[in-house]
Amino acid sequence: MIQKGSLFIAVVVVLILLTTGCSAKDSSKPENGKKAGISDMQAENPASERLQEMLTDYPPVIQESIMSDTDGFLALVKKALELPDEIFVMADKKHALGEDFIPEDLVPLTDYSALTLSRKNLKLRMIVVPDLLRMVADAQKEGLTLVVSSTYRSYDYQKMLFEREVKLYGLETAERESARPGTSQHQLGVTIDFGSITDEYANTPPGKWLLQNGWKYGFSLSYPKGYEWLTGYRPEVWHYRYITPVGTELQRRYFNDVQQYLLMFINENRNRLREILDLF
Ligand SMILES: [Zn+2]
């Protein structure tokens, strides 16, 4: 009897446990539902937390402009990452392009009669041409001629230029004024030197117009004043790299209008940014 009694108790206990277990499970269901809602909200928080991590080494002004508008920033980054990777590829003293980086869609600029060229053998990537034509036409409407003076340079041509510069002025000056092969943005086929290629260009009406308006057409001043320590190059008021209008908007709105910071950020974080954007 005692055994039967304890068996009965044991069965009751097991049943109670099972029931409690079940009810515990049941009651956890709505909780799980709630949790899904919370984790949706949290999906935004990790995104901004992760952005904050990526920005640790960037100047406070850049951190502030991005963190105060993470949605707007990520929406633009999404558009930027949909562009071909090489639009934001780095070509500088720390990030050399290989000898074999030769753009496939180079076109001779003599094909476009609307362009004013200082030499005949200039080429650019086709991807630049529509916005360049638009920009040149708009400047022309204001009576200004944007002279295209230097464009695509092959690895070998840059090598020849650099070696010549070293012979003429010595290595130190050559490093500052010219670029070692592979480290010139001109090898990208999207970079243009305008006008006289001198400091005075900044004071000419076309030089001023470009500085004010180039970004609207996707052209970004690569080596601004005050950033030689960052870019590795002294200011070049004539040297613009095409990074598309999406790129220049990102640069202006979120990177204190400094191309180098934009390029660094995208290249350091390309994969992490893609992960964040997949959360949307
Ligand atoms: Zn240049």
User: In the numeric block, which tokens belong to residue 127?
Assistant: 């991807």
**Can you tell me the distance from the alpha carbon of 157 to that of 151, in angstroms, rounded to the nearest whole number?**
12
**Can you tell me the distance from the alpha carbon of 239 to that of 101, in angstroms, rounded to the nearest whole number?**
20
In the three-class reduction of DSSP (H, G, I as helix; E, B as strand; rest coil), residue 255 is classed as coil
From the CA of 128, how far away is ligand 1's center (Å)? 15
**Can you tell me the distance from the alpha carbon of 102 to that of 92, in angstroms, rounded to the nearest whole number?**
16
The helix, strand and coil proportions of the chain, stated in percent and rounded to the nearest 5, come to 60, 10, 30
From the CA of 103, how far away is ligand 1's center (Å)? 17
Quick one: how far is CA 225 from the chain centroid?
20
E-strand spans in the chain?
Answer: 106-108, 116-117, 123-125, 147-150, 191-194, 219-221, 239-242
User: In the numeric block, which tokens belong to residue 2?
Assistant: 């005692």
From the CA of 270, how far away is ligand 1's center (Å)? 26
- Which of 71, 50, 72 lies closest to 265, judged by CA? 50
From the CA of 155, how far away is ligand 1's center (Å)? 14
Tell me which H or E stretch contains 232: none
From the CA of 220, how far away is ligand 1's center (Å)? 12
From the CA of 192, how far away is ligand 1's center (Å)? 6
From the CA of 163, how far away is ligand 1's center (Å)? 17
From the CA of 51, how far away is ligand 1's center (Å)? 32
From the CA of 239, how far away is ligand 1's center (Å)? 4
From the CA of 76, how far away is ligand 1's center (Å)? 27
Please state the pTM of the whole predicted model: 0.81
From the CA of 238, how far away is ligand 1's center (Å)? 7
Write down the pLDDT at residue 6: 52
From the CA of 260, how far away is ligand 1's center (Å)? 15
In this structure, is the dihedral angle defined by the CA atoms of residues 122, 123, 126 and 128, taken in order, positive or negative?
A: negative
**Can you tell me the distance from the alpha carbon of 101 to that of 156, in angstroms, rounded to the nearest whole number?**
11
From the CA of 72, how far away is ligand 1's center (Å)? 32
Write down the pLDDT at residue 177: 81
Identify whether the C-beta of residue 235 lies closer than 8 Å to the C-beta of residue 223: yes
From the CA of 55, how far away is ligand 1's center (Å)? 29
From the CA of 199, how far away is ligand 1's center (Å)? 12
Q: What is the pLDDT along the chain (280 residues), one digit of tens a residue?
A: 445 555 444 444 444 444 444 433 333 334 443 444 444 444 556 888 999 999 999 999 999 999 999 999 999 999 999 999 999 999 998 999 999 999 999 999 999 999 999 999 999 999 999 999 999 999 999 999 999 999 999 999 999 999 999 999 999 999 888 889 999 999 999 999 999 999 999 999 999 999 999 999 999 999 999 999 999 889 999 999 999 999 999 999 999 999 999 999 999 999 999 999 984 4
